[in-house]
């Protein structure tokens, strides 16, 4: 039996802000998974800043795009997976796909909620962790300034820095994002870089 799936193709290279007309929704039929393969139904996908570059150079016109996604194994002929397993991979922008298992990782939803594997437990968290602790070599008690602090990576950077007993200053592009940084993530100081004097705010934040 085949599985009907819809997928999003890049139909033209966007100029400026991407438009709906730069993409096409295409219906395809997937075959039964062969020996060693799995059929996965995507549940969530992540839309990330790097994708704008792929639209310019990387994704082929007339082909399905890709990107981080979480899905559920519907049918398995692969010993590593069983039906019902949650998996993360990079086959976003489509409802279903067939895989030989390469590039798929099993997700343990008893450790953290499923969606966190596209956030703090996924590439976003790894980027924040690697940037701050491995490349940045953050030390306990230091003062950290995070730009784009209300974004996916920035908000995790701020929270890791708080766990490390650092003083955390963040900037974001709206007052509501600034309130979010202070109220939800407990930054020590936050400001709207579009309306504030940045140097003054940094001095205030350092205390
Ligand atoms: N997500 C990942 O796993 C990952 C991995 C590797 C690298 N990165 C890089 O890390 C950076 C942040 O990524 P993210 O996933 O945290 O993104 P995000 O959640 O979409 O945050 C990006 C933020 O950047 C700010 N911004 C500043 N100038 C902008 C502009 N001209 N257009 C759009 N947004 C602008 C916006 O916040 P304000 O309104 O506050 O300005 C926006 O919300 C990006 O450079 C990304 O390529 C991300």
Average pLDDT for residues 55-63, to the nearest whole number? 97
Percent of the chain exceeding pLDDT 70 equals 100
pTM (predicted TM-score): 0.86
- pLDDT band for position 66 (50/70/90)? very high
Look at residue 143 in the predicted model and tell me its pLDDT. 97
Our measurement of the distance from residue 107's CA atom to the centroid of its chain's CA atoms, rounded to an integer in Å, reads 15
Look at residue 1 in the predicted model and tell me its pLDDT. 84
Comparing CA positions, the residue from 168, 165, 169 lying closest to residue 139 is 165
CA distance 195 to 205: 16
> Ligand 1 in contact with 42 (CB < 6 A)?
no
Average pLDDT of the chain to the nearest whole number: 97
> Ligand 1 in contact with 123 (CB < 6 A)?
yes
**Which residues belong to CATH 3.40.50.720 in the chain?**
123-206
Query: 148 C-alpha to center of ligand 1: Å?
Result: 6
Tokens representing 44 are: 């969530």
Query: 174 C-alpha to center of ligand 1: Å?
Result: 14
The per-residue DSSP string of the chain comes to --EEEEEEEE-S--SSS--GGGEEEEEEEEPPP-TT-EEEEEEEE---THHHHHHHTTSPTTSB--B-EEEEEEEE-STT--TT-EEEESB-SBSEEEE-STT-EE--TTTS-GGGGGTTTSHHHHHHHIIIIIIS---TT-EEEETTTTSHHHHHHHHHHHHTT-EEEEEESSHHHHHHHHHTS--SEEEETTTS-HHHHHHHHH-
> Ligand 1 in contact with 173 (CB < 6 A)?
yes
- pLDDT band for position 118 (50/70/90)? very high
Look at residue 207 in the predicted model and tell me its pLDDT. 80
Tokens representing 41 are: 């139904």
**Which residues belong to CATH 3.90.180.10 in the chain?**
3-111
Comparing CA positions, the residue from 113, 33, 123 lying closest to residue 80 is 33
Q: Whose Cα sits closest to atom 15 in ligand 1?
A: 152
Query: 152 C-alpha to center of ligand 1: Å?
Result: 7
Average pLDDT for residues 71-98, to the nearest whole number? 98
The superfamily CATH assigns to domain 3-111 is Medium-chain alcohol dehydrogenases, catalytic domain (3.90.180.10)
Fold of 123-206: Rossmann fold (3.40.50)
Query: 49 C-alpha to center of ligand 1: Å?
Result: 6
> Ligand 1 in contact with 199 (CB < 6 A)?
no
134-180 pLDDT, tens digit each: 999 999 999 999 999 999 999 999 999 999 999 999 999 999 999 99
């Amino acid at each position: 039996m085949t599985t009907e799936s819809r997928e999003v193709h890049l139909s033209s290279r966007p100029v400026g802000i991407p438009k709906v007309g730069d993409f096409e929704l295409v219906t395809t039929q997937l075959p039964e998974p062969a020996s060693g393969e799995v059929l996965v139904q995507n549940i969530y996908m992540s839309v990330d800043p790097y994708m704008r570059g792929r639209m310019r150079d990387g994704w082929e016109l007339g082909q399905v795009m890709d990107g981080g996604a979480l899905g559920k194994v519907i049918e398995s002929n692969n010993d590593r997976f069983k039906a019902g397993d949650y998996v993360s991979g990079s086959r976003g922008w489509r409802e279903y796909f067939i895989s030989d298992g390469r590039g798929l990782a099993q997700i343990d939803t008893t450790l953290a909620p499923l969606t966190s594997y596209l956030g703090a437990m996924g590439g976003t968290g790894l980027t924040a962790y690697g940037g701050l602790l491995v490349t940045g070599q953050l030390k306990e008690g230091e003062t950290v300034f995070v730009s784009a602090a209300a974004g996916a990576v920035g908000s995790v950077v701020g929270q890791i820095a708080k766990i490390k007993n650092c003083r955390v200053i963040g900037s974001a592009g709206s007052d509501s994002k600034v309130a979010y940084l202070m109220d939800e993530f407990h930054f020590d100081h936050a400001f709207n870089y579009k309306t504030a004097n940045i140097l003054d705010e940094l001095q205030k934040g350092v205390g």
